[in-house]
Amino acid sequence: MQQTFPNIPVWSPRPGPRPAGPAGISVGYNRRRGPARGPAGCPASPRCLLSNDPSDPVRILGLCGSLRGPDSFTRRLLVLVMAELDTLGACTDFFDLAKTELPMCKSAADTDDHPGKQNLVARAARAQGFVLATPEYHNSYSGVLKNALDLLSSEQLGDKMFGLIGIAGGDMGAVNALGHLRIVIRGVNGHVIPQQISLPSVYRHFDGDQLADERTAGRVRDFAAALALHTRRLAATLDDLA
């Protein structure tokens, strides 16, 4: 059965106060924490992405570019990053490509009516920032992530902030994959933060679902703080120019 989506306008910035978040990071705040939010972000996600109030948390969508499900190291890393963003006061939305059927990118006429694409487009349009997570395959990022990005356009991705994270089983890490993603984001008029996370020999970095060493955990915290900060700053700049 075809899924339908509410006819709610895409968020647009409005003037207003921008309170400082933890450690001086201006990421907004949550007036109602409610029940435990967990790695998938706000309760009833992505309802939080519909807010028009600039004092609300920044809205960050995570795209998991692995099809390996719960055992994926890519997914585990993204869950930890999104949880850290949530701790900072961001409103997070987790889009798991392993759980969402998307069409192969063809012409718009062939894909626009697909409920999976409609879901992806709607949630991407309402986000202010993104975390793209990928394993490195053959010196580049995953095909499933490429297909998801191809289903989107600068209309949903342009003038927004991106953070990139990747894993690899080998000693070189995911540097090539993340470098290729930077080129893609430039092509859709997006902005990528300088910080990135590339984990080589990824199995050494995890103990179950948690990170095995404090150094890597510190990188996750620094990455999340940088993305939250730059996302808020870009949103504020666009607000001032509107």
What is residue 77's predicted lDDT score, i.e. its pLDDT?
97
Give the CATH number, domain containing residue 108: 3.40.50.360
Average pLDDT over the chain, rounded to an integer = 82
Q: Is residue 36 part of a domain?
A: no
Lowest-pLDDT range, 47-56, 98-107, 117-126, 213-222? 47-56
Burial class (CB in 10 A: 0-12, 13-18, 19+), 162: buried
Tell me the Cα Rg of the chain: 17
Predicted structure pTM score: 0.79
Query: Which pLDDT band holds residue 56 (cuts at 50, 70, 90)?
Result: confident
Average pLDDT over residues 114-120: 96
Q: Is residue 1 part of a domain?
A: no
Give the residue among 34, 44, 28, 36 at the shortest CA–CA distance from 90: 28
* Residue carrying structure tokens 């991705």: 157
Q: Is residue 21 part of a domain?
A: no
CA distance 132 to 64: 7
- The answer to whether 130 and 161 are in contact (CB under 8 A) is yes
Does position 49 have pLDDT exceeding 70, yes or no?
Answer: no
What is residue 54's predicted lDDT score, i.e. its pLDDT?
56
Does position 160 have pLDDT exceeding 50, yes or no?
Answer: yes
Query: What range defines the domain where residue 162 resides?
Result: 55-241
H or E stretch covering 59: strand 59-64
Does position 212 have pLDDT exceeding 60, yes or no?
Answer: yes
CA distance 206 to 157: 31
Give the residue among 196, 201, 171, 172 at the shortest CA–CA distance from 182: 196
Q: Is residue 153 part of a domain?
A: yes
Q: Is residue 39 part of a domain?
A: no
Q: Is residue 106 part of a domain?
A: yes
Q: In this prediction, what percent of the chain has a pLDDT beyond 70?
A: 77
How many domains, the chain? 1
